[in-house]
Structure 1
Amino acid sequence: MRFTRVLRMSAAVAALGLAAACGGAGANADKPLLDRVKESKKLTIGIKYDQPGLGRRTPDGKFQGFDVDVAKYVAKELGVDESAITFKETPSAQRENMIEKGEVDFIVATYSITDARKKKVSFAGPYFIAGQDLLIRAEDNEITGPDSLNGKKLCSVKGSTPAQKIQKDYSHEAQLQEYGGYSECITQLLNGTVDAVTTDDVILAGYATQNSGKFKLVGKPFTEERYGIGLRKDDKAGRDAINKAIQKMIDEGVWKQALEKNVGPSGYKIPAPPEITEK
């Protein structure tokens, strides 16, 4: 009998542990964002871990970058303290899936607003507008834009908008290689395995700063990328609240300050704030 009681107690403890593991965003995934925040006073926010100047996890476990600052500001406006934020890595190819499953409350991770993605998730914003560009080695004078790739090996991230753009419009020019993160592409560019890395100019500017003197931006953007904050589809109240927070960040000058702090040192020209259109 005693052994049976021990087994029952162990099962109960395991069940409690499982319930705790299922907590956070996923526990109330079907509820609107504002209801979840009101109940828990916590947020799980998706970001990138490997994008200097935008979303990066430092070796000591801290989070830095413009996207991180935007996420913290929005959380504050929603009534959530910074100490109650859990940042979660959201790889490009997994973002819609993580929102749909409730693994994150919303995502601030250089997340381009596209019609295809809007079939699965909703967006607030945009909070920034970038343009796709190319990063090459400092001594390279052959690559001057996407039309000059001419069989060159080009690296981007699997599932990202930049990778899709190359596949759609420049597959005859470039030999596209896709990796799980941009840091992997940068490693390949450093060791000569690839000839260029493509993604949005502001992301590339962060890597150029981190690897001073080794890389340069081509400086000829060939797309317009509207970064939005992704959240559960058709959550209008949540989207409106995030839009309000973004606009307040812009109006107070905090938006510009965050950009100047995080990407300004690279020489990247700070653009004008975007107009919020996702309503």
Structure 2
Amino acid sequence: MKSDQPGTGWQPDGYKHSGFDIKVAEELGRDLKFTETFSNVPSTDRVTALTRNDANHVDLVIASFSINQNRAKDIWFAGPYAETRQGFLVRKDGPRIKSTDDLRGKRVCAWDGTVSIEELTRRTPDVHAYATPYAKQCVDDLISRRADAISTDQLILYGFADHYRELEVVPDVVIGTANYWGVGIAKKDRLDHSNKQDCLRVLGALKRYVGTSAWELDLKTELPLVEKDPDWQTRYRPSTANMDRLSCTDHVED
């Protein structure tokens, strides 16, 4: 799990985890009859945590983990359990941002190990994009005016905006295509047996969850600012077709 993203994966006191990703993990535990034990993982180590064979190996990664072809070469994904576009977080007292043109010449922060910095560099060449090791450093830079904006998945940004009330998500300014959050699973277990059947079991549980009102309740409880989007129930809910297309496969269309 992530530990530095309020609303998605958060552990501020070093003890209790909270966030939408935590709700997803707990729902999988109930459906598939396992007891989850949470371990924190930074963005840069999510694939490694699944594929390593030492004591730091984990069985599932549920950490705002976007499904893409590069990652699907090394691990299985089940999902998505949410989809979101990449947006921007700014200070409420900062310059008004109404389009990406308003970000020209501005310093925009993202963090390592995510697709956000790649998309930012590719889609907004007039922006001064830079990366930090951790999300918290981007937030500190934005609050202290060393950065003009943060760019990553809008669902993540809504969590930060709810926690830091001096910040806000820029409405209706997004870049790139949808990012699909999936559950990461190693392709083989420690005995070199395929984990594909486990991937399919996780997919089945996610389908049952995403299709219920429990999914909506968990999303708006953990990320209450999503309700500012009038069509949030459909905007962030993945379709069954995308879940079938993107799950438990070596070939993912980004």
TM-score scaled by length of structure 2: 0.84
Task: Choose which of 105, 109, 113 in structure 2 pairs with 1:151.
Answer: 105
Determine the structure 2 residue equivalent to 1:216. Answer: 168
Task: Choose which of 92, 97, 101 in structure 1 pairs with 2:52.
Answer: 101
SS in 2 for 1:87: coil
SS in 2 for 1:248: helix
Determine the structure 1 residue equivalent to 2:41. Answer: 90
CA deviations over 1:167-214 (Å, ceiling 9, x no partner): 2332x31222211221211111000111100011111111111111x1
Task: Choose which of 49, 64, 69 in structure 2 pairs with 1:115.
Answer: 69
Return the offset for 1:58.
3.1
Return the offset for 1:271.
2.9
Return the offset for 1:142.
4.4
Letter of the 1:71 counterpart: A
Identity %: 26
Determine the structure 2 residue equivalent to 1:254. Answer: 214
Q: CA RMSD in A?
A: 1.7
How far, CA to CA, are the matches of 1:202 and 1:268 in structure 2?
Answer: 12
Task: Choose which of 238, 241, 245 in structure 2 pairs with 1:274.
Answer: 238
How far, CA to CA, are the matches of 1:166 and 1:63 in structure 2?
Answer: 30
How far, CA to CA, are the matches of 2:101 and 2:203 in structure 1?
Answer: 37
Aligned length: 228
Letter of the 1:193 counterpart: R
Larger Rg: 1
CA deviations over 1:61-102 (Å, ceiling 9, x no partner): 101011000011112222113xxx221111111111111115
Letter of the 1:271 counterpart: Q
Which is helix-richer, 1 or 2? 1
Determine the structure 2 residue equivalent to 1:32. Answer: none
Segments of 5+ residues of structure 1 without an aligned counterpart are 1-46
Kindly tell me: are residues 255 and 120 of structure 1, through their superposed partners in 2, closer, same or farther at Cα, counting changes over 3 Å? same
Determine the structure 1 residue equivalent to 2:251. Answer: none
8 Å CA contact 2:98, 2:170 repeated in 1: yes
The structure showing larger relative contact order (alpha-carbon pairs under 8 Å, at least 6 residues apart) is 2
8 Å CA contact 1:146, 1:173 repeated in 2: no
Letter of the 2:167 counterpart: F
Matches within 5 A, 1:1-279: 47-59=1-13, 61-81=15-35, 85-102=36-53, 103-170=57-124, 172-212=125-165, 214-219=166-171, 220-223=173-176, 224-233=178-187, 235-265=195-225, 267-269=227-229, 270-272=232-234, 273-275=237-239, 276-277=243-244, 278-279=247-248
